[in-house]
Amino acid sequence: MNPMVLPEPPAKPTTPKTTSQGRKRCHNGQQTTPVEPWDSASSAVVCSTPRKLAELSGQLHLYTQLDNDTSTQRLLFRKVKKGFTEQAWQLAAAQQQLAQLRAQVTNAAVRKRKTVQIDPNTKFANIRDIHRAQIEAGEKEVITAESSDSECPSEAGSCIIVRRGENANAPPDDPKGKGKGKAQAGGGDGSGSHGPLGTIPARKLKIILQHAIEELQRLEPEAVLATEFKSKLVSSSKLKLAKNPVIIKFRNENSTREELYNIKVVGENEAPLAAMDRYLRTMVDPSDPDEAHFPRCEVSVDALNVVLGHSPRMNNQITAVGKGRFFPWGPGSATSRLGQQGPLTAIRGFFQSVRLGTGRTLLNVNVTHGVFKTDVRVSELCKWFGLDVFGTGNINTHNNARATLRTLSNFLAKTRVTVQFRTADGKDVTTKRAIHSLACKNGLASPPVGSLVFFSQGFVYGGPREVKFQLDPAEGQKTVLGKKPPGAYSVEQYWQWKYGQAPDKSLPLVNLGTADKPMFFPAERCLIAAGQAVRSKLTGDETTVILDFACRSPFANAISLERSSAAALGLDESILGEFGITVDKRLLTVAARELPAPMVTYASAKNLQSRGGSWNMTGVKFAKAGPRITNWNWVRIAEGDNPSIPIDEIARSVQQFVEFLNASGVAVETRAPNTAHQITVGRSTAAEDIKRAFAAIESYTTKAKGSIKGFFLLVILPRHDATLYGAVKSLADVQFGFHTVCSVENTFIKNNLQTFANIGLKWNLKNGGTNHIVKDTIDILTSNQAMIVGYDVTHPTNMSNDKSSAPSLVGMVASVDKDLGQWPAVAWEQPSRQEMLGEELTENFKSRLLLWRQRNQSRLPQFIIIYRDGVSEGQFAQVLTTELPMIRKACDQLYPPKQRPKLSIIVSVKRHQTRFYPTSDQNMDQKSRNIKNGTVVDRGVTQARYWDFFLTAHTALKGTARPAHYTVLMDEIFREKYGVGNSAADQLEKLTHNLCYLFGRATKAVSICPPAYYADIVCERARVHRPALFDVSDVASTTTSASQPVEPSNNVQVHSNLRDTMYYI
């Protein structure tokens, strides 16, 4: 376990200030009292001597001669497959596992970018030496595995290493208290034998570590201990560790078999809270004068988070999700069912995290919401899904429900349930188990261990009557079920005889065992335990419900924080006082400024003043239109041959829309070609039907106009449908190379000018136009010397196993002129879940510079301002060490040696937990009761040493406004040009604020500046272009069709006709 030790509590308690979601707005409190230093842990990997291997054949001597390289691995496995003994195969597998472990450790170190401190007494051996020792000792390797729920933190923690039995198997040269802390746990049957290593489930691990903490507390009663029940241990004083490892006996509540686990404390270090306190007061770290390390005071902050999270994790009526989200689900909790008969429930909880402010330590607290399984009987779920289809022998009814049965079975897998029933003698029995699946023939071993299981002919799933199993008499008896002969009997018959109760024959059975050893229970006897978090994609209706539940006024959230968060997060628990920590329950009050809204300019220099961050463009023309559009058409996609809206009615609306475009300054040929305007699609063939129609459009347009380049197609969809939308976009963007703009027919035929304006905004941007311009921006923009870049990375989420290695996608946009109206884009793939950009960044960044030069009389920009979206604080240094050199390399290839551009890199983050609440009516938006748009906070909850600020440029229509957080990682522009201090900060904040008014497809200020916003949209469009890898419903409203758009190729690229345009808008 990763120990972090604390000395005795100081005389005066430490008082972190409570902040809202990361950094809250709260009342002023006293200054933080200096704190005695804590101890914290550094890291190391603990290796154990392998255990006994069965006798090896005479072939084993060959393996001692082999080097541990790739070709040797392949040779070894080929020989094994040709007939080497099973023991040889086991040794080969062990060799591969050791190599994989070494690679995982290496990769983790690179990913974390963290210095690993190694005890000088630690001895290392290469893999070949280990294998030679294995053979000489006749031993077999112990496999190490990481807990599936472990989040290998980047601070001071590490993963759980599991060992079975009492022997900790620690290397003899590993001294106590050195290296990185790990909890080493192993289980066995108490006989001293060592079984294979396995991953410990999170709930089981928590129980084991609870027992370990209790034992450590008994051995060292003076120490105060806290843990996050994964890998870290924080102590208020240095542990003697006279008994290390601690042996824990674990027995599952459904078993009489005891397992032994050893928990070993293998690391110890100091969490220097006093040094952290000095740093917060002076903003100077003598140990890091070059400020090369970020985030600051990582180990101390990590230790505080462990201590503050200990109490809510100990509460059995609170579910902890991730590092800092806690959801109370007991009596009095705030919940909302996602649908009257839905299997999911939303629960309101709280987020907490320790943050560093100037001169003080802050506790970032915010209201958060999560999705959990509804605590109902499984029988209720079955009825809601219409699965009461058993008991009649009707195979057709079963077959019609098979897809739904499979869906529910997958949903219930690993769900914890309480099983309740009464035996024939009247005794109530309650036990807890995890669901394997619904009773399914295909989900069982062939045959299952023990009794044979039979399903009625044709049934894949089964209820009490359809599932039978072989019953043989016990030793010394000749009958079963009382006086019946041996044979196959149904679960219904068995349950009636055993418990005197008839199960509901219409519902499917639930397997609470395994595939090898199934245990079938009636669905009505299984109650889903509360508090089980779910990571799954929600339907459109479910999303609507949870958004309504989570959308609360600022005051409602503020009241929850001040009145309810302390109890839920255990901020009044005695353990905090024992550690010398107290938390001010009041929200922190901070100073803020309100930036003036810029003037928005349209054609003919017509200026509009925004109100509340929005404006109305009625009666004005777009600032700059693209070239006249003479090559366009429109189509209506219809499902079935008899759509409810006549095609002529849509044609009239199209004509009115074209008239609106011309009146708004977008010159469009008034008449569309006289071609077929309807594409009839089938629900299972929509993509192919659209593809054929687009091919016909391409053929006609090429013959009539000579080329499809510059062609626009207005697409009228029958409804909001992500799959139809995805098919249109992926076909047009990638395969055919023409622009498309989509609208839904029921909305389009209303001929609403606002709807036409929204479509027109996109149309003009795709055509190279500028919708509006912002005046009064900074001089480096008005002199056309600066290019602004935004880029983001999106990763696969909620993916099925066969798509889990889907690539991460990068989207990059860059301005091309001083008006900042056009942001052409480029997108590419990189390895799955890799946030830092690879070598492709150089060429793609270079492409943006070349495009800027093409659009600006062969000049290159003197200043480049980069908004990097989405990286966490722990990755800030990597942006400078990994991505910045590739950006400079791109510049080096285009600029003369002494004319390199000045760069500034700003990280923009929208998904964070900081919220601000108004303290008076003068600072409040009267409609939403949020802080006013334009509010900027750059002190109070920020660090004076670093340049960061929170900006709320938009007006939140509903709920609590979320500000964007900007952190300047590197600046060669603003300080040099405008001076160090407030002037430079004011200019950057003004620029960022003004940019939020330049989002092209809206007439309002947006919450995050367009370079970052557009880059995110480019990433989402790239997902649409890869339908076989990403579900298009991730990026659109609702999926109601099962058809798939075009099949993707490797590294899909936008068609050359659309490159360097705003195709993605």
Q: Which helix (H) or strand (E) holds 917?
A: none
Average pLDDT over residues 669-695: 89
Strand partners, 434: 416
Say whether both 750 and 790 belong to one domain: no
Q: Token pair for residue 469?
A: 């199993």
Q: Which of 597-606, 626-635, 652-661, 932-941 has the lowest mean pLDDT?
A: 932-941
Long-range contacts of range 611-620, CB-CB < 8 Å, 24 or more positions apart?
612/925, 612/927, 612/933, 612/955, 613/933, 613/934, 613/953, 613/954, 613/955, 613/997, 613/1004, 613/1005, 614/955, 614/1003, 614/1004, 614/1005, 615/1003, 615/1004, 616/1003, 617/757, 617/772, 617/1003, 618/753, 620/664
Look up tokens 């009492």; give the residue.
166
Say whether both 848 and 994 belong to one domain: yes
Say whether both 264 and 156 belong to one domain: yes
Closest CA to 952 of 937, 968, 967, 940: 937
Over residues 409-447, the pLDDT tens digits come to: 999 999 999 998 777 677 888 889 999 999 999 988 877
Average pLDDT over residues 269-294: 79
pLDDT of residue 796: 78
Over residues 813-828, the pLDDT tens digits come to: 999 999 999 999 999 9
111 CB neighbour count, 10 Å cutoff: 16
Closest CA to 997 of 934, 1049, 1043, 945: 934
Highest mean pLDDT among 16-20, 498-502, 555-559: 555-559
Please report whether residue 545 resides in a domain: yes
Is 44 a residue whose pLDDT tops 50?
no
Classify the phi-psi angles of 879: left when phi > 0, otherwise alpha if psi is within -120 to 50, otherwise beta: alpha
Q: Token pair for residue 509?
A: 């059975």
In degrees and rounded to multiples of 5, residue 664 shows phi and psi of: -90, 5
Please report whether residue 736 resides in a domain: yes
- Angstrom CA distances, 669 to 429, 623, 684, 755, stand at 78, 20, 36, 20
DSSP label at residue 289: T
Is 37 a residue whose pLDDT tops 70?
no
**In the chain, how long is the greatest CA-to-CA distance?**
103
Say whether both 803 and 935 belong to one domain: yes
Is 1056 a residue whose pLDDT tops 70?
yes
pLDDT of residue 759: 95
Torsion of CA 907, 909, 915, 917, to 10 degrees: 60
Say whether both 83 and 105 belong to one domain: yes
Average pLDDT over residues 343-366: 91
Distance, in Å, from the CA atom of 667 to the CA atom of 681, rounded to the nearest integer, reads 32
Please report whether residue 543 resides in a domain: yes
CATH number at residue 611: 3.40.50.2300
Is 181 a residue whose pLDDT tops 70?
no
Long-range contacts of range 750-755, CB-CB < 8 Å, 24 or more positions apart?
751/653, 751/656, 753/618, 753/660
DSSP label at residue 598: P
CATH number at residue 985: 3.30.420.10
pLDDT of residue 740: 96
Q: Which residue has the higher pLDDT, 672 or 821?
A: 821
Please report whether residue 1044 resides in a domain: no
Say whether both 409 and 327 belong to one domain: no
Distance, in Å, from the CA atom of 736 to the CA atom of 158, rounded to the nearest integer, reads 50
pLDDT of residue 629: 93
SS3 760: helix
Residue where a domain terminates, one of 696, 731, 766: 766
Chain CA centroid to CA 911, Å: 11
Q: Is the dihedral of CA 1045, 1050, 1051, 1052 positive or negative?
A: negative
- Full domain range(s) for residue 119: 51-208+244-268
Q: Which residue has the higher pLDDT, 1036 or 843?
A: 843
pLDDT of residue 95: 61
Highest mean pLDDT among 136-140, 659-663, 1041-1045: 659-663
Residue where a domain terminates, one of 766, 798, 825: 766
- Angstrom CA distances, 1039 to 695, 747, 942, stand at 25, 19, 42
pLDDT of residue 40: 28
SS3 302: helix
Say whether both 545 and 516 belong to one domain: no
Say whether both 100 and 165 belong to one domain: yes
Over residues 301-351, the pLDDT tens digits come to: 999 999 999 999 999 999 999 989 999 998 889 999 998 888 999 999 999
Average pLDDT over residues 359-373: 92
Predicted confidence band of residue 135 (pLDDT cuts 50, 70, 90): very low
Do 933 and 924 meet the contact criterion of CB atoms below 8 Å apart?
no
Q: Token pair for residue 374?
A: 């509804």
Over residues 915-966, the pLDDT tens digits come to: 999 988 888 888 888 999 999 998 767 765 678 899 999 998 888 999 999 9
pLDDT of residue 744: 95
Say whether both 624 and 708 belong to one domain: yes
pLDDT of residue 94: 62
Q: Which of 116-130, 570-584, 872-886 has the lowest mean pLDDT?
A: 116-130
pLDDT of residue 878: 87
Q: Which residue has the higher pLDDT, 1052 or 449?
A: 1052
The HSE-up count of residue 1054 (CA atoms within 13 Å, CB side) is 24
Predicted confidence band of residue 246 (pLDDT cuts 50, 70, 90): confident
Q: Token pair for residue 366?
A: 């915010």
CATH number at residue 416: 2.170.260.10
Q: Which residue has the higher pLDDT, 584 or 194?
A: 584
Average pLDDT, the chain: 79
DSSP label at residue 1051: T
Please report whether residue 231 resides in a domain: no
Look up tokens 């359809």; give the residue.
466
pLDDT of residue 804: 55
Say whether both 815 and 759 belong to one domain: no
Over residues 954-971, the pLDDT tens digits come to: 998 888 999 999 999 999
On the 0-12 / 13-18 / 19+ scale of CB atoms within 10 A, 274 is: middle
- Percent of the chain at pLDDT above 70? 77
Do 632 and 672 meet the contact criterion of CB atoms below 8 Å apart?
yes
pLDDT of residue 182: 39
Amino acid 137 reads A
Do 580 and 586 meet the contact criterion of CB atoms below 8 Å apart?
no
Predicted confidence band of residue 905 (pLDDT cuts 50, 70, 90): very high
Do 527 and 417 meet the contact criterion of CB atoms below 8 Å apart?
yes
Q: Token pair for residue 683?
A: 């629900």
Please report whether residue 434 resides in a domain: yes
In degrees and rounded to multiples of 5, residue 302 shows phi and psi of: -65, -45
Helix 753-766 to helix 647-663 angle (10° resolution) is 70
pLDDT of residue 647: 92
Say whether both 820 and 916 belong to one domain: yes
Closest CA to 759 of 644, 668, 648, 686: 668
Distance, in Å, from the CA atom of 182 to the CA atom of 168, rounded to the nearest integer, reads 12
Do 1062 and 822 meet the contact criterion of CB atoms below 8 Å apart?
yes
Q: Which of 81-90, 420-429, 659-668, 674-683 has the lowest mean pLDDT?
A: 81-90
Distance, in Å, from the CA atom of 646 to the CA atom of 654, rounded to the nearest integer, reads 13
Distance, in Å, from the CA atom of 583 to the CA atom of 361, rounded to the nearest integer, reads 10
Q: Which helix (H) or strand (E) holds 688?
A: helix 686-705
Please report whether residue 1034 resides in a domain: no
Q: Which residue has the higher pLDDT, 731 or 947?
A: 731
Instruction: Compute the C-alpha angle 97/98/101, nearest 5°.
Output: 85
Look up tokens 């496995």; give the residue.
77
Say whether both 383 and 340 belong to one domain: no
Query: Can you list the positions of beta strands (E) in 41-132?
Result: 51-52
Is 479 a residue whose pLDDT tops 60?
yes
Please report whether residue 239 resides in a domain: no
On the 0-12 / 13-18 / 19+ scale of CB atoms within 10 A, 26 is: buried
The HSE-up count of residue 173 (CA atoms within 13 Å, CB side) is 10
Counted domains in the chain: 5
Average pLDDT over residues 881-909: 93
Predicted confidence band of residue 93 (pLDDT cuts 50, 70, 90): low
